[in-house]
Amino acid sequence: MPELAARSHLEAISTVVDSALHALPGGWDDLDAMTVTRGPGLAGCLLVGTLYAEGAALARGLPLCGVSHMAGHVYSAWLADPSLEPPYLALVVSGGHTECVLLREHGVAERLGGTRDDAAGEAFDKVARLIGLPYPGGPAVERAARAGDATRFPLPVTRIPGGFSFSGLKTAVRYTVRDLPDAERTETGVPRDGQTVSDLAASFQQAAIAQLVAGLEEALERTEAERIAVVGGVAANGALRDAVRAHFAPLEVTVPPLSLCTDNAAMIGAAGWHRLRLRGPDPPGIVVDPSLEEYA
């Protein structure tokens, strides 16, 4: 509910910022600049963040710039490996996004393709619900899949040139669960047997990862990049991390640590550092853009 989300942001933002500043001996006095996400996202939440940042920057006399949340994910790989320099190909895979982005140089990025429907993380959440696992679905599916047989339920690996699609895979899981014998489903329609849940999780995870790897390989062929990064919340999935490293073994592959995969302020700071260095601070009145398509 966007309105409630914005109110919660407003209530929490000062506490969160103060907590983050505890890492600096001088607190606010140790800051050289500020950066803030201006999109994409919920308009109300973006407004809370940008207005707070503008007020704080004005009060402290700090330069300020607005950056894209997606640029933050792309630069999370640079945080994980400061020697990583463009050009590099990033697979941005999260709850709201599944896209291949080529960072040609600092400040210049090209979106090569993305999902046509559900994002991979969204599909993990929806499939988790279908098979009776808790939210967030990504970690729950990964845990269940460790004890599963990925060959028990053959699921489709969708391939769309220049993009991704997870709605068909999600629907295939729905039908697979629906077609289980009545005695094997609970009153709420989820599998009753724990092994069946694990097998479905493993089958889904394998198909989803196969599509991500194939899409990344196609983007790699188009760009001939020599460095690859896998970033975003779904990059925390151990099976995906292992699959990418194994498949693209001859190349330089960077996957951030788990703390930098999910949404975090450090990645926004990294994107802002590069933007300030290249373009300088923004003028007063940062404009939020809920549909912002910017990757550097």
Give the residues of the chain that fall short of pLDDT 50: none
Residue 147 within any structural domain of the chain: yes
The pLDDT of residue 224: 82
Q: Which of 214, 95, 93, 193 is nearest to 149 (CA)?
A: 193
For residue 17, the enclosing domain spans: 2-70+262-279
Q: Provide the domain count of the chain.
A: 3
Residue 56 within any structural domain of the chain: yes
Based on the fold, state whether residues 100 and 243 are members of the same structural domain: yes
Neighbours of 99 (CB within 10 A): 25
Q: In sequence order, which residues have a C-beta less than 8 Å from that of residue 253 and are 6 or more positions away?
A: 227, 228, 229, 230, 244, 245
* Cα→Cα distances 233→10, 43, 285, Å: 24, 21, 30
The pLDDT of residue 81: 95
First vs last Cα of the chain: how many Å apart? 29
Q: What is d(CA 120, CA 246) in angstroms, rounded to the nearest whole number?
A: 20
Based on the fold, state whether residues 106 and 230 are members of the same structural domain: yes
Based on the fold, state whether residues 108 and 243 are members of the same structural domain: yes
Q: List 67's β-bridge partners, or say none.
A: 37
Residue 290 within any structural domain of the chain: no
* Cα→Cα distances 205→52, 90, 169, 189, 243, Å: 40, 20, 10, 21, 11
Based on the fold, state whether residues 227 and 104 are members of the same structural domain: yes
Residue 75 within any structural domain of the chain: no
* Cα→Cα distances 137→101, 172, 211, Å: 25, 17, 18
Based on the fold, state whether residues 112 and 235 are members of the same structural domain: yes
Based on the fold, state whether residues 129 and 207 are members of the same structural domain: yes
Residue 284 within any structural domain of the chain: no
Neighbours of 143 (CB within 10 A): 13
Based on the fold, state whether residues 128 and 191 are members of the same structural domain: yes
CATH code of the domain containing 124: 3.30.420.40
Based on the fold, state whether residues 106 and 189 are members of the same structural domain: no
Q: What is the pLDDT of residues 185-236, one digit of tens each?
A: 999 999 999 999 999 999 999 999 999 999 999 999 999 889 999 999 999 9
Based on the fold, state whether residues 268 and 203 are members of the same structural domain: no
Residue 288 within any structural domain of the chain: no
Based on the fold, state whether residues 53 and 7 are members of the same structural domain: yes
CATH code of the domain containing 96: 3.30.420.560
Q: Which of 123, 116, 118, 153 is nearest to 138 (CA)?
A: 123
Residue 291 within any structural domain of the chain: no
Based on the fold, state whether residues 177 and 142 are members of the same structural domain: yes
Based on the fold, state whether residues 65 and 99 are members of the same structural domain: no
